[in-house]
Each structure stands twice: as structure tokens, then as C-alpha cells.
A and B are shown apart, each in its own frame.
Chain A
């Protein structure tokens, strides 16, 4: 559990982090997002007592980090820059860390096993690849069986298998009702790992939200539908108030929705919007359509009621990456002060 309250860090004139407040709760993986130089690493270092905040406080399980009697029991940390002496073996590195808290040697073997470094445990860390170094860093973080993990760019230098390993590890960790704060520049990876998000830009909080809400707010609820009777389905959906677009045709035009409850048989001649007939005609023989304004569940029910077979029904969410780009671009372009962005739902 991490609580940041008004964290501020200035280096002379330069503001690295300003008035940053957020909470990292146990039981979920919280992603820490922000462009390079946004202040993620500085924030993590302040939480860990490595950098002294200019203002504000960070509490770990209710207490300032520097006052913890056994920091290793509360927090396991992996910082972005490597924190391993290159001349020492992995086993001796872990032993030196373990001895500060009287951790038994058996636990060292366990974490070495857990991160898959058994074969190289007695080799000098200086010869490790980036990925092996990351694994050793993770082993160090897990040594004290902490209730909170703080990881700065943990998937850096890992191969796809290693990335998946980290993802499983973090989710398993959170599932044990522990807190995880993880930063990454790989948004797609974050979408798969995190459920909560803290987004910062220029050292300020932009959003504290869930990944699902973050993406939904940016996506406008679009659903991708494939059906051999797409045109007939479109007719039904438009009648329900949806906006339907035929997707395979590059010359597609967007067809806005008619008001709900509208009866096409009595369509007044002067209306400018397309009738369900017009939509149907526009779609023609196309099989895939994009629907906005209706949940995928409702679309499925309507299709069933209309006796139309569906071959595909996929909520089309923008990638986290796109949502992130939108939101941080807004922050950079339009504001230096107030939190900004689309669909802030706090």
C-alpha cells in the first residue's frame, strides 16, 4: 500500500514532480504511465527514501519509508538503473542484501529458483545480459516477501517469454492481496498487466483511473461485427439508435443514427439522416460493419431476435497506447496546471 500526498521534487528551477497524490492499493496491479521525463523514476525514488522530496510525503503501509524497521518486509523494489555490483556473483549479491534483514539462505535459493537464475547464480553479475540483470533485480525485490512491489520498467531487455513471466508474476503477486506499482513505456504490455492506472505528465497527475475506464473513455464504445447478413442487421441496429459504418470499403461514409424509436415506414421525406433502408443499401453486400452507440451484448441480442447469424462480435477498443498518446498530448499541449484529458472519471 502506497499513499503519495502532494509529492513535490524541484531541482533548483526545474520541477521534476509537482503536487503528486495517488494511492496504490493492494490486490491490483497499478500501472505508472507517463512520457519520458514525466517524473516516474523520481517519484519512485522519493517513495523509497532515496530522493528527499521538496514537499509532500509518501507513506508505505501508513508510515514514511525511512521509518520502517524492516523495509524489505514492506517493499521490494526494482529501479530502472541497475543496482548490482558488476564484480559480485548473483548469489553473493542476494546474500549481502538478505543479511541486512537476517533473511535465511534458504529464501535466497528460493528466489534464485523463482527467477530462473540457478545456472548462473555463481557467475559474476557483470557478465549478465540485460534480461538476466532484470531477473536478478526481481529476485532482490522478492527476497523479503514484501507486501508491496515497486518496479521501474521491469520488462526492459526481457524476451517475450520473460515479459510473459513478469506479467504472470505481478498478477499472481496482486492476487495475494499485495500492492504492485509498475512503470512501463510499453503501453500494450501495461494493458495486459495492470488494472489500475496512474498517468502523469510533466511531473503532474493527469489521471488516476482503471485501465478499462481509461480505454473506454478514449474508444467511444465501438463494436466490430461480421455477419453474412450485415445489411439487414445494420437496419435493425440503426433503428435501435446505433451508428453503423461499413468497414471493408475504403470509401465508406459514416451514417449517423436516427433517433431511437423512429419508425422507418413513416419516415418523413424531409429528414436528412439516412433511413435504415439507406444504411442497408449503403452496406450492400459487405459482411463487416462497425457499430457505435450499442453495447456488444445488446447487438448480439438484437441479432438473435432478428434471426441473423453473427460470425464475429468484438468490442473495438482503442489501444492503451493510443489512449495514452491522446491524453499526454493534451497534457503537454494545453495545460501546465490543471489535470486534463478526455473522459476523466474521478
Chain B
């Protein structure tokens, strides 16, 4: 029982046996889908046996972390934003410390109150934007290009993908901002040392501020990742993140004086606490600030996870 069709391109008649194997055209048998060398010519293996020695193992979390690391490192935008983060932190440290050195010696005789750590970590103000954008891009880049469909087809349980992204991002961001923070501190103190304003890393709060800076910047990036997962668009997520970090303090600033106490709950204020050696009067302690930042982060990540698990892609 064979069926004939006329090839539309050259008018040749092609015979296709009803059992699906093409005997009229031996070339068709060469298209073996099995790259391991099984010859596709008629010798069909039993169902299931095909998979027995297949190349793919089960999906495990470590594999997803590897996969996300490959995705992360194989994009130019990653290295650009990381480079900008480093440049912002060290560049601003140099700039702010040089200015402080100037001020401290010539204008301010009461520099006993001077927090020498602050100008050397001041770059975090700029770095929070670049690291936040990097967090956003880590997931919106998949949505805007359609890559997310390939990713979620391979990991239909979905949530492990989000956690793997968070692990890779947090690892890279924390290590980088910690090292860069140390560098900024060292460079900044070297500049301040010329005017005898510098402190050592052993001075009260200095090491904690460097650690707090790395923690805050990592948390901001993860917040970007979560917001990116929620909004799926790069522009939307970056705008939302900037609104939270920079917009909210401005809005609160417009409110009556009685409502200014809201300010200390904002991520921006929490960041200030984490990055300074001395808490200001009406702020939380660094420990409380770290807990609050964690709560914000967990809430946003959980929201992102719920939406990711339910939504069609």
C-alpha cells in the first residue's frame, strides 16, 4: 500500500509507503537523529531502549546552577555591568576621599566626628544601580529573547530555575562587591592617610560596613532579579527598582514632617545604615537593618516564585 505524491518543486513523483519508512529514497535513511552513530536504516530499536544509554541524566539543582553560571558568564552585558560596578565603587571612593581630605584639613577643625569609612564606600550609591540592573537582566533577558521557553521546557518544575539564578547571582555579586569594597576602603584610606584622616580596617565598624555594603548591594541585585521575574520586561523592572531605591525617598521627603519616620523603613535608608560605621540617631541598628532587608528580599522573591510557577510562558 503505497501513496504517491508529486514533489512540488521539480514535479518528480515520490513514493511513500504507508508504514512510514521511505524505501524509494535511500538518502532519507542517512538522517539519523542519533548522533552516537546508530544507523537509522530500518533497524528500529525498541521504545524506551532508545533512552537507556542516552546522554541526559535527571535534572538536579547543581546542574541548574552550572547552567545558570554558563548563561551568566556567556553574555557581554554581564561583564560590562560588573566592570561598571567596580568602576563606580572605586572611582567614587577616590573622588569622595580626595574631597574629604581637602575638606578635613582646611575647613573642618572638628574632624573628630569624621567617618573615614563613609567616603571610601560612597560608591555603593552608584553601584546599587548597576548591580540592580544586572540582577534584572539575568531574568528579563530570557523573557525578551524567548530563551525562557527553552529554559522552562527543560525544567518544567520552574522554581529551581529561579533559585539557581539567585544562587549564581548572589555568589558572584557578594564576592565581587566584598573584594571591591575592601579595595575601595584601602584606596580611600590611602588617600585620606595623606591628611592623617584615615582609619584602619580594625577600627570600630569598618569591617562591618564593608561587609554590610556587599550584603546590601547583593540584596539590591536579588531584588532586581525578583522584580524582573515579576514584570518580565527589562525597562519595566529597571524602572520599578529605581523607583524603590531612589524614587521612594524623594516621595517621602514631600510628605509632612510627622510622616518622615516612614523614611527609615525604606531600602535606601536601610542601605545607609548597613554601609556606615555609625548608625544615625533615628535609624535601626545594623543588625535590624540586615533583617529588614532580608525580609523585603524574601517577600519579593516569594511573590516572583508564585507568579513564575503559575503563569503561562
Contact = CB atoms under 8 A, between A and B. Distances in A.
B31 A165 contact: yes
Contacts of A107: 35, 55
A72 B146 contact: no
A85 B150 CA distance: 10
Interface stretch (B37-45, B124-132, B196-204, B238-246): B37-45
Nearest to B64: A100
A145 B54 contact: yes
Nearest to A11: B312
Interface residues of A, number: 85
A103 B56 contact: yes
A84 B150 contact: yes
Given A50-B149, A176-B45, A178-B50, A68 B156 contact: yes
A84 B71 CA distance: 11
A171 B56 contact: no
B69 to A, nearest CB: 8
A4 interface: no
Most chain B CB within a 10 A radius of its CB, from A99, A175, A177, A195: A175
Interface stretch (A73-81, A197-205, A230-238, A252-260): A73-81
Interface in A179-222: 188, 191-192, 195-196, 210-212, 215-216
A147 interface: yes
A160 B9 contact: yes
Given A69-B58, A89-B74, A176-B34, A100 B4 contact: no
A95 B141 CA distance: 17
B28 A211 contact: no
B35 A110 contact: yes
Interface stretch (B14-22, B93-101, B106-114, B178-186): B14-22
Given A84-B150, A100-B63, A145-B36, A171 B58 contact: no
A176 B4 contact: no
A320 B6 CA distance: 10
Contacts of B152: 49-50
Contacts of B35: 107, 110-111, 113-114, 142, 145
Interface residues of B, number: 73
Contacts of A96: 67-68, 70-71, 74
Contacts of B40: 172-173, 175-176
A226 to B, nearest CB: 14
A51 B312 contact: yes
B259 interface: no
Given A101-B59, A211-B3, A29 B150 contact: no
A169 B46 contact: no
Nearest to B44: A177
A229 interface: no
A104 interface: yes
Given A102-B57, A145-B35, A147-B50, A314 B4 contact: yes
B74 A92 contact: yes
Contact of A172 (B33, B36, B147): B33
Nearest to A108: B55
Given A85-B141, A87-B141, A172 B67 contact: no
Contacts of A249: none
Contacts of B154: 71-72, 97, 100-101
Interface string B136-153: 000001100111111111
24 contacts: A48-B156, A49-B152, A50-B149, A51-B312, A69-B59, A70-B57, A81-B146, A81-B149, A87-B141, A88-B75, A92-B70, A100-B155, A102-B56, A110-B35, A145-B55, A149-B33, A160-B9, A165-B31, A171-B21, A172-B28, A175-B42, A176-B33, A195-B18, A210-B18
